C-alpha cells in the first residue's frame, strides 16, 4: 500500500510546513494529565525542524463548538511541546487571524509555532463543504507544504485533515506511518496465536471490529460494560448492569459464528458486582451466571471482571504472539474496579511478540495505572481511528495521503 511520506515533499529548508498533529490531551485546568499525544508528535516535528523547515503546528482540543473557549486553549500544550523539544515554541492566540498571520510571518528556519485550537473556528468541523474549504484555504495560505500526522483524526473529513491536504503538497508524518505499520501487522498475516481483547461500555461501538476480526483471530476476549450484553445473549440476568437489549440478537450471531469458525470467544466467568456506581460502594464477586444472586439482588451492577476471569484472560494473552486490546475491563477510574484492567495491561507487557494498546480509554488506563509506554509494543494515539481501520473502512485522512 502506498503512502506519501515526508521525503516526497523534497527539500524543506526555509519552507513553511503546516503539521496537523493530534494534541487533544486531557486537561485539568492548565495541567496536562496525559501528554502521550504530545510526545508522539515530537519525532515528526524534529524531523522537519532538522531540515530547516518553519513548522506551524495545528490541532484541535476537545469540543468547543466552533467558538473560542479558554478551557480548550492549546496554550498549555504549546508550553509542554517546547519542553519536549528543548526550545522555545511560539503560540498564536487565534487560528487564522491577525496574531497567527504575524507570528507565521516572523517564523525563522527551524522554529516552531503552535496555532490556537482549530475547533475555535466553525469551518474546521463544518458539514458544509464550502465553509470547510474556506477555512482550509486560510490555513493553506500559511503553508508551502502540509504534513498530516494526527492519526487520532484520520477518520474525520475535516478541514485540516481532508481539505487542506488537497490544497498544498502533502504527506504523512512519522506517527501516521508508524501507526499504519502496526495496524497492517494486525490485519495482514499476524503472527499466531492472535488474541484480541475488547472492552469498553458498548457492544455497538465494537460491532464492526468484531465482524471484521472474527475470521482473522484465534481468541477473542470480551470484558468491560459490553460483556453484559453477551451474558444476556446466553440467557443470564445481569441486574442493573449496562445492557444493550437491541444488540442481543447480533451478539448471539457472533457467538454462533465464533463457534463455527473455531475461534475461542472467552466471556467472563465471574464479575465484580456493586451496590452503586461509586468508589465506596459495597461490592462482591459473583459468578457471571449469578449476578442477581448477590446481596444487591436485581439492583446490583457489574463494574469489573472478576479475579478468576482476570487470571484466565492474562493466561491467554501471555500465550499469544499478537495481541490487540481496546477498551478497559471495568471502571478503572474507581480503584475497587480497576483490577481487571490492570491484569490485562500487566499481561500485555509480558507478551513475547506484538502487543498493541488501541488508544482512547485503554491508553489512558495503562498510564493512569502506572505503566510506561515502552512496556508495550505500541500504544495507538487514535482509539476511534484504530477501530475503524480494523473494521476495514476507508479513512478520509489516509485516502487523501495516497493510502488505498
How far does CA 307 lie from the centroid of its chain?
A: 27
Whether the predicted pLDDT of 335 surpasses 70: yes
- Annotated binding-site residues read 22-24, 37, 60-63, 119, 156, 206, 302, 333, 359-362
Tens-digit pLDDT profile for residues 282-324: 999 999 999 999 999 999 999 999 999 999 999 999 999 999 9
Q: What is the pLDDT of residue 391?
A: 87
Look-up: residue for cell 456493586? 274
**How confident is residue 188, by pLDDT bands cut at 50, 70 and 90?**
confident
Q: What is the pLDDT of residue 163?
A: 98
Angle between helix 360-368 and helix 339-348 axes, rounded to 10 deg? 90
Look-up: residue for cell 478541514? 159
CATH 2.40.160.40 fits 6-174, yes or no: no
For the residues 253-274, what does the mean pLDDT come to?
A: 97
- Domain ranges in the chain? 6-174, 182-391
Question: What is the distance between the alpha carbons of residues 80 and 35, in angstroms, rounded to a whole number?
Answer: 8
Under 8 Å between Cβ of 400 and 146: no
Whether the predicted pLDDT of 72 surpasses 90: yes
Whether the predicted pLDDT of 404 surpasses 80: no
**How confident is residue 207, by pLDDT bands cut at 50, 70 and 90?**
confident
Core vs surface per residue 242-275: b (16+ CB within 10 A) or e: bbbeebbebbeebeeebeeeebebbbbebbbbbb
What is the value of pTM for the model shown? 0.90
Whether the predicted pLDDT of 193 surpasses 70: yes
What does each C-alpha distance from 206 to 183, 187, 193 come to in angstroms? 16, 16, 21
Strands (DSSP E) found in 153-310:
170-172, 194-198, 219-222, 264-266, 270-274, 283-287, 301-305
Question: What is the distance between the alpha carbons of residues 326 and 196, in angstroms, rounded to a whole number?
Answer: 8
- Annotated binding-site residues for ATP read 206, 302, 333, 359-362
For the residues 88-107, what does the mean pLDDT come to?
A: 98
For the residues 232-256, what does the mean pLDDT come to?
A: 96
**How confident is residue 382, by pLDDT bands cut at 50, 70 and 90?**
confident
Q: What is the pLDDT of residue 90?
A: 98
Whether the predicted pLDDT of 359 surpasses 80: no
Count of C-beta atoms within a 10 Å radius of residue 8: 14
Tens-digit pLDDT profile for residues 169-184: 999 999 999 999 999 8
Arithmetic mean of pLDDT over the chain = 95
Q: For the sheet containing 89-91, what is the strand order?
A: 89-91, 112-114, 54-58, 16-20, 145-148, 170-172
3-state SS of 196-235? EEECCCCCCCCHHHHHHHCCCCCEEEECCCCHHHHHHHCC
Look-up: residue for cell 455497538? 204
> What percent of the chain stands above pLDDT 70?
100
Q: What is the pLDDT of residue 170?
A: 98
Whether the predicted pLDDT of 242 surpasses 90: yes
Q: Which residues pair with 270 in a beta bridge?
A: 287
Q: In CATH terms, are 6-174 and 182-391 the same topology?
A: yes
Q: Which CATH architecture group holds 182-391?
A: 3-Layer(aba) Sandwich (3.40)
User: Residue 203: CB partners within 8 Å, gap ≥ 6?
Assistant: 226, 229, 230, 244, 247, 250, 251
Cβ-based burial of 79 (10 A; exposed 0-12, middle 13-18, buried ≥19): middle
Tens-digit pLDDT profile for residues 8-46: 999 999 999 999 999 999 999 999 998 999 999 999 999
Cβ-based burial of 217 (10 A; exposed 0-12, middle 13-18, buried ≥19): buried
Q: What is the pLDDT of residue 99?
A: 98
Max CA-CA distance within the chain? 70
**How confident is residue 1, by pLDDT bands cut at 50, 70 and 90?**
low
Look-up: residue for cell 492474562? 314
Look-up: residue for cell 504527506? 171
**Catalytic residue annotation:** 37, 202, 360, 384
- Annotated binding-site residues for (2R)-3-phosphoglycerate read 37, 119, 156
Q: What does the CA dihedral 177, 182, 183, 187 come to, rounded to 10 degrees? A: 130
- Annotated binding-site residues for substrate read 22-24, 37, 60-63, 119, 156
Whether the predicted pLDDT of 361 surpasses 90: no
Amino acid at each position: 500500500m502506498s503512502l506519501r511520506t515526508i521525503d516526497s515533499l523534497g527539500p524543506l529548508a526555509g519552507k513553511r510546513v503546516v503539521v496537523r498533529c493530534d494534541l487533544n490531551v486531557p486537561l485539568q485546568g492548565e495541567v496536562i494529565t496525559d501528554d502521550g499525544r504530545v510526545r508522539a508528535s515530537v519525532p515528526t516535528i524534529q524531523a522537519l525542524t532538522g531540515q530547516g523547515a518553519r513548522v506551524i503546528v495545528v490541532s484541535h482540543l476537545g469540543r468547543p463548538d466552533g467558538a473560542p473557549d479558554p478551557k480548550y486553549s492549546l496554550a498549555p500544550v504549546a508550553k509542554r511541546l517546547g519542553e519536549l523539544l528543548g526550545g522555545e515554541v511560539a503560540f498564536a492566540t487565534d487560528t487564522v487571524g491577525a496574531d497567527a498571520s504575524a507570528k507565521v510571518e516572523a517564523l525563522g528556519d527551524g522554529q516552531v509555532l503552535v496555532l490556537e485550537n482549530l475547533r475555535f473556528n466553525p469551518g474546521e468541523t463544518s458539514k458544509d463543504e464550502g465553509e470547510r474549504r474556506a477555512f482550509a484555504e486560510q490555513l493553506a495560505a500559511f503553508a508551502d507544504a502540509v504534513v498530516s500526522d494526527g492519526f487520532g483524526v484520520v477518520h474525520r473529513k475535516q478541514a485540516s485533515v481532508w481539505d487542506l491536504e488537497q490544497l498544498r503538497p502533502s504527506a504523512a508524518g512519522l506517527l501516521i506511518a508508524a501507526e499504519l505499520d502496526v495496524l497492517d501487522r494486525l490485519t495482514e498475516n499476524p503472527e499466531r496465536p492472535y488474541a484480541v481483547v475488547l472492552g469498553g461500555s458498548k457492544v455497538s461501538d465494537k460491532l464492526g471490529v468484531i465482524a471484521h476480526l472474527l475470521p482473522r483471530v484465534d481468541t477473542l476476549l470480551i470484558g468491560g460494560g459490553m460483556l453484559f450484553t453477551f451474558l444476556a445473549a446466553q440467557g443470564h440476568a445481569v441486574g442493573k448492569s449496562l445492557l444493550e437489549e437491541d444488540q442481543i440478537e447480533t451478539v448471539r450471531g457472533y457467538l454462533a459464528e465464533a463457534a463455527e469458525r473455531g475461534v475461542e470467544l472467552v466471556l467472563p466467568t465471574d464479575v465484580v458486582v456493586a451496590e452503586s456506581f461509586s468508589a465506596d460502594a459495597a461490592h462482591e464477586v459473583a459468578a457471571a451466571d449469578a449476578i442477581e444472586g448477590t446481596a444487591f439482588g436485581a439492583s446490583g451492577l457489574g463494574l469489573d471482571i472478576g479475579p478468576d476471569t482476570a487470571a484466565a484472560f492474562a493466561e491467554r494473552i501471555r500465550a499469544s504472539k499478537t495481541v490487540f486490546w481496546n477498551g478497559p475491563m471495568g471502571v478503572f477510574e474507581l480503584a475497587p474496579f480497576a483490577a481487571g484492567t490492570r491484569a490485562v495491561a500487566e499481561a500485555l507487557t509480558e507478551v513475547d511478540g506484538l502487543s498493541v494498546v488501541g488508544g482512547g480509554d485503554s491508553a489512558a488506563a495503562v498510564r493512569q495505572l502506572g505503566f510506561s509506554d515502552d512496556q508495550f509494543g505500541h500504544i495507538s494515539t487514535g482509539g476511534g481511528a484504530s477501530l475503524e481501520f480494523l473494521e476495514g473502512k476507508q479513512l478520509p485522512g489516509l485516502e487523501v495521503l495516497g493510502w488505498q
